[in-house]
């Protein structure tokens, strides 16, 4: 049966890790709260639980619909180390499956992307699946007791699209994507998401826990010291948060007078997106889609971060920069700006990781510039069930 797989129940945290006081002190009003305990950034059992409770049960934006080209086009991605293959079937319908053969579990498709697939054939013993996931060929299986090919189709993965962005969710009971996007749908409306073309993609590997990378993306308290270039265009205390309800958190920063967008000069040779209000033209919007994505909207380009945890101590980050599909300018200046900013961020995240896992660090406090980090940390604890009295 081509049934969906449900991530198994998370293991209980070891007793010493379930000690609630550390977590309870995070779950206070922000001015009285303490930050996440240091051990949460390097604990292997907590990390395994995060994959099961968070990353395997959320919508993850993995790229754009047009990356899967024509019938037989495919894309492979990893969600928390679990492989997914996305294909366009003969009718042009997008489908997603676990990239796992039902015989002995071999990864089916190795390539990152391609075209012209007529079926999915396992490279090990040649079990062959059609593009709707049904098992069509299985050599030397005739005469095997109670074996019916109809019971061994590929496990499906939930897939949806939103204005050209492609999303998958490993949870077979996944709620609709619209529920995940919530208030972001309205906020993103003025931006021409359907018309985007990817101008740049850079993949980074960061020697830091994914939560440190996510926290860093949600405060500009660090900006004066870490990003001298960025604060010249968007002063670090500018702007406001307007969406505080998990899984979406974020708001905007204001550009200094005369700045048009986030580039090293604040200028741009590109057209502003048409239809933006005077307000939108002075702002850069940033939203985290907990736990795996971060979207930023500038006046002439959009960026998408995809956080891919590789282990408690390591995070891969795929950074995409999109412009309007008819925009001739290659947006090298925008990418230069973010390449500099990203490298500054990853370095400081790695420094934070090194310190947070030492015996010297327990918990800190949130500044008045870190309300969103606190909101995300609280949301994290609730989603993880770490505040349940039953776990005390």
Contact residues: Fe ion, CB under 5 A? 345
Q: Report the residue number, 103 or 314, with the smaller CB distance to ligand FES.
A: 103
| Nearest approach, Cβ of residue 287 and Fe ion (Å) | 15
Which of ligand FES, Fe ion, none has residue 45 at its interface (CB below 5 to 8 Å by kind)?
Answer: none
Determine, following the binding rule CB under 6 A, whether residue 244 of this chain makes contact with ligand FES.
no
| Nearest approach, Cβ of residue 345 and Fe ion (Å) | 4
How far is residue 114's CA from residue 47's CA, in Å, rounded to a whole number?
Answer: 32
Determine, following the binding rule CB under 6 A, whether residue 125 of this chain makes contact with ligand FES.
yes
CA-nearest of 290, 244, 311 to 384 is 290
Q: Report the residue number, 43 or 320, with the smaller CB distance to Fe ion.
A: 320
Query: 């968007």: which residue's tokens?
Result: 234
Residue 299 CB coordination number (10 Å): 21
Q: Could you say which of 2, 45, 106, 341 contacts ligand FES (CB under 6 A)?
A: 106
How far is residue 71's CA from residue 92's CA, in Å, rounded to a whole number?
Answer: 5
Q: Report the residue number, 141 or 318, with the smaller CB distance to ligand FES.
A: 141
Which of Fe ion, ligand FES, none has residue 147 at its interface (CB below 5 to 8 Å by kind)?
Answer: none
Using CA of residue 193, residue 370, residue 210, residue 290, what is the dihedral sign?
negative
How far is residue 244's CA from residue 29's CA, in Å, rounded to a whole number?
Answer: 14
Which of ligand FES, Fe ion, none has residue 103 at its interface (CB below 5 to 8 Å by kind)?
Answer: ligand FES
Q: DSSP string spanning 289-350?
A: ETTTEEEEE-SS-EEEEEEEEEETTEEEEEEEEEEETT--S--HHHHHHHHHHHHHHHHHHH
Q: Which region, judged by CB under 6 A, interacts with ligand FES, from 30-38, 102-110, 179-187, 380-388? A: 102-110
Determine, following the binding rule CB under 6 A, whether residue 149 of this chain makes contact with ligand FES.
no
Determine, following the binding rule CB under 6 A, whether residue 124 of this chain makes contact with ligand FES.
yes
Determine, following the binding rule CB under 6 A, whether residue 101 of this chain makes contact with ligand FES.
yes
| Nearest approach, Cβ of residue 226 and Fe ion (Å) | 6
| Nearest approach, Cβ of residue 170 and ligand FES (Å) | 20
Q: Report the residue number, 327 or 345, with the smaller CB distance to Fe ion.
A: 345
Q: Report the residue number, 140 or 389, with the smaller CB distance to ligand FES.
A: 140
CA-nearest of 150, 116, 146, 122 to 136 is 150
How far is residue 36's CA from residue 387's CA, in Å, rounded to a whole number?
Answer: 13
Query: 């609280």: which residue's tokens?
Result: 378
| Nearest approach, Cβ of residue 140 and ligand FES (Å) | 10
How far is residue 392's CA from residue 388's CA, in Å, rounded to a whole number?
Answer: 7
Determine, following the binding rule CB under 6 A, whether residue 104 of this chain makes contact with ligand FES.
yes
Residue 195 CB coordination number (10 Å): 15
Binding site for ligand FES (CB under 6 A): 101, 103-104, 106, 122, 124-127
């Amino acid at each position: 049966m081509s049934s969906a797989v449900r991530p198994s129940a998370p293991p209980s945290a070891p007793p010493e890790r379930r000690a609630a006081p550390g977590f309870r002190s995070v779950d206070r009003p922000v001015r009285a709260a303490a930050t996440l305990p240091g051990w949460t950034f390097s604990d292997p059992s907590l990390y395994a639980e995060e994959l099961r409770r968070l990353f395997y049960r959320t919508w993850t934006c993995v790229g754009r619909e047009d990356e899967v080209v024509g019938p037989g086009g495919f894309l492979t991605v990893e969600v928390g180390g679990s492989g997914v293959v996305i294909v366009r079937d003969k009718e042009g319908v997008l489908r997603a499956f676990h990239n796992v053969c039902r015989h002995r579990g071999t990864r089916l498709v190795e390539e990152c992307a391609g075209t012209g697939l007529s079926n999915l054939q396992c490279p090990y013993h040649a079990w062959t699946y059609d593009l709707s996931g049904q098992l069509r060929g299985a050599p030397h299986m005739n005469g095997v007791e109670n074996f019916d090919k109809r019971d061994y189709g590929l496990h499906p993965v939930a897939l949806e699209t939103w204005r050209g962005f492609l999303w998958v969710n490993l949870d077979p009971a996944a709620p609709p994507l619209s529920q995940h996007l919530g208030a972001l749908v309205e906020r993103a409306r003025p931006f021409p998401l359907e018309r985007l073309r990817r101008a740049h993609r850079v993949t980074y590997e960061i020697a830091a826990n994914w939560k440190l990378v996510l926290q860093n993306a949600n405060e500009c308290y660090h900006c004066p010291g870490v990003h001298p270039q960025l604060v010249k265009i968007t002063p670090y205390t500018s702007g406001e948060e307007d969406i505080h309800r998990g899984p979406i958190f974020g708001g905007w920063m204001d550009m200094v007078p005369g700045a048009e967008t986030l580039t090293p000069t604040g200028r741009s040779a590109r057209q502003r997106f048409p239809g933006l209000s005077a307000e939108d033209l002075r702002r850069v919007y940033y939203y985290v889609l907990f736990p795996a994505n971060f979207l930023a909207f500038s006046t002439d380009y959009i960026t998408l971060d995809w956080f891919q945890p590789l282990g408690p101590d390591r995070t891969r980050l795929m950074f995409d920069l999109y412009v309007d599909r008819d925009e001739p300018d290659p947006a090298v200046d925008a990418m230069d700006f973010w390449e500099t900013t990203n490298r500054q961020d990853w370095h400081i995240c790695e420094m934070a990781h090194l310190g947070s896992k030492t015996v010297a660090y327990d918990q800190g406090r949130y500044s008045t510039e870190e309300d969103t980090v606190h909101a995300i940390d609280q949301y994290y604890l609730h989603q993880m069930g770490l505040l349940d009295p039953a776990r005390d």
